[in-house]
Amino acid sequence: MLLKWHTRLSGFMGITLLVSPAFADVASIGRDGIDSSSLMLSGAGIGIGMVDAGRPGKVGVDDAMHSDMTIDPEEVYVGTAMPVQNQGVDDHGQIVAGVMIGTDLAGEGVATEANLYASALAPGNFQQQSAIALQHIANRQGGAIAAINISYGLTLGSDMTDGSSLLTQYIDWSSRVHDTLYVQSADEMTPTIPSSPIPKDDYNGVTVGASLKIGDVFRKVADFNFYGGDADGARTSVDILAPGEDIFSLNAAGNLVSADGTSVAAPHVTGTVALLQEYAEARIIDTGGPLWKPAPNANARRHEVMKAVLMNSADKLEDTGDGMRLGMSRTVLKKDGSNWLTTDAYTERGIPLDLEMGAGHLNARRALQQFSSGEIDATVPAGTVVPQIGWDYANTGDTGSFVNEYVFEDPLPAGSFVSITLAWDRIVNLDMDAGTTGEYDVNDTFESVGFNDLDIYLLPQGSTTIDDAVWSSISADSNLEHLFFQIQTTDMYEFWAYEFDSPIQLGTDYAIAWWAFNGPTGTAGTGDYNGDTIVDSEDYDLWRASFGSTTNLAADGNGNQVIDAADYVVWRDTLGATLGAGTAAVPEPSSVMLLAFACAFAVLQGQLRSR
């Protein structure tokens, strides 16, 4: 069995490492990438982790040739042990860490102030040592590790891609026991890099494929993504895409490098989890209540919620500003140039995700918008009226017959899309627990109990049977359902989380996220706040009327979930532009026009300060 990292290096514990590194920079976290840099979030205080072939350097542990203040994790290990100076430091570990926490201007990370706990693998059986190191990281920061990054994989050997390998079972066990989201880079293959599909066949984590740029926008599935080792049966391995081409960062020696690979994909997602969790923590502490419940019921922290939110908010089809495509910022393309509308996932109810793009492309700005509603509790069994965008964390109960009804508060217009994602865990238990009780030890084994069969149904409001459904996601092979459907008739609608058949275990926790038409969105970053393709005084009027709002976000030009002065700057900088297939700038507005608006802005600020 070959242990594969995606970096073209050689020599680690006698193993050949076949890797093509890729990491975050200002392009991949900007508007044309995952759009996280505009959110005014840094992941401050949030614990995230990584296990890799090697580890990043740490100032104070390693010498100046093997550490850098711009990529400085909270703690570092080799396996579970504190390392001696420079032990286990390598380029790939430094690069992966840089995606998440790097602060160098040429290669800034997604979550620069997150607490990163990193471990290099200790010698021994790869799967066993991976599980031991991952468990050690999951227990850092009092066990409050939001996500753990895995940017390596194992060739198939004697294992199958059916979730039965020790490492894959460990991930599904630990995600539930430690309540952490495992994020791994998707499989790839080139003439020099073999396929390594383990543990990308897990059920409870998120596997991330790489995107490349068309023009300046990350929006197409990279050619090196490989699907020959995809999960067995109808289930697919890839859950979501993230940037993976021509990304700049610093290696262990402090040199600026550029490369491609799926190693970039996972750290972008891991870092985004830290941003969302920072947002949640502030609200759990400051507001609490039903939307942001405190411990022990802080459902905003649940790994199932993170998975559902990230996947449901992913980009598929670019919105023109009218909101009919849910404010998505790009049309994502498969290898052959086709888009979501040609996929089996769009046309077949039993296939929730596309083989190549999963649910679409990571968009941190939209993920925050999806998440920012706070939890919307649905009441079983009566239908609960819910906003057009929201999420819920619930349990199927112990009756063995379950349906939870969510009723949209506003009608859905014909031609608009609706997106709904339902995620729950495969249940894996320790089978032979011969060492420390309740923890994985070398030579312990796992037993997969399986997962219950939950489905999503979209129905006209007031329906009493699933036979009335206009669309559904009803896969029998996966513990995830994803529905993306274009409404045919303007009407009031509801959706059901529904348990099909007798459960294998009562009381399944699940997360569900939804997004339906919520009015015109404008075009983020262009100043076209009313969606009429022209940046003019009407957009300014909309911005002024909603100044200070955190709910009416049509004029949220920088995507930070509040209408503020920064959105005026976005409008000012694009005033006079006309938007078509691309943004075509027309002659700049006159200084007289800008002066008039600047004066009005100054008056508005004065009025707000005096209230």
pLDDT tens digit string along 222-240? 999 999 999 999 999 999 9
170, 134 contact by CB (below 8 A): yes
What is the biggest distance separating any 2 CA atoms in the chain, rounded to whole angstroms? 78
Tell me how far apart the alpha carbons of residues 540 and 438 are, in angstroms, rounded to a whole number: 59
Q: Is the pLDDT of residue 141 over 70?
A: yes
Q: What is the pLDDT of residue 308?
A: 98
Q: Is the pLDDT of residue 593 over 60?
A: no
Tell me how far apart the alpha carbons of residues 448 and 147 are, in angstroms, rounded to a whole number: 22
User: Among 179, 405, 185, 221, which Cα is nearest to 307's?
Assistant: 179
| DSSP conformational letter for 366 | H
User: Among 197, 206, 183, which Cα is nearest to 225's?
Assistant: 197
Q: Which residues contact 135 (CB under 8 A, 6 or more apart)?
A: 170, 174, 178, 439, 440
Q: Give the model confidence (pLDDT) of 275-291 as tens digits.
A: 999 999 999 988 888 89
Q: Which of 219-228, 259-268, 560-569 comes out lowest in average pLDDT? A: 560-569
| DSSP conformational letter for 176 | H
Q: Give the model confidence (pLDDT) of 293-304 as tens digits.
A: 998 899 999 999
Question: What amino acid is encoded at 180 in this protein?
Answer: T
Q: What number is the average pLDDT over the span 171-180? A: 98
Q: What is the pLDDT of residue 286?
A: 83
Q: How confident is the model at residue 253 (pLDDT cuts 50, 70, 90)?
A: confident
Q: Give the model confidence (pLDDT) of 568-578 as tens digits.
A: 878 887 888 77
Output the six-digit token pair for 499: 């348990």
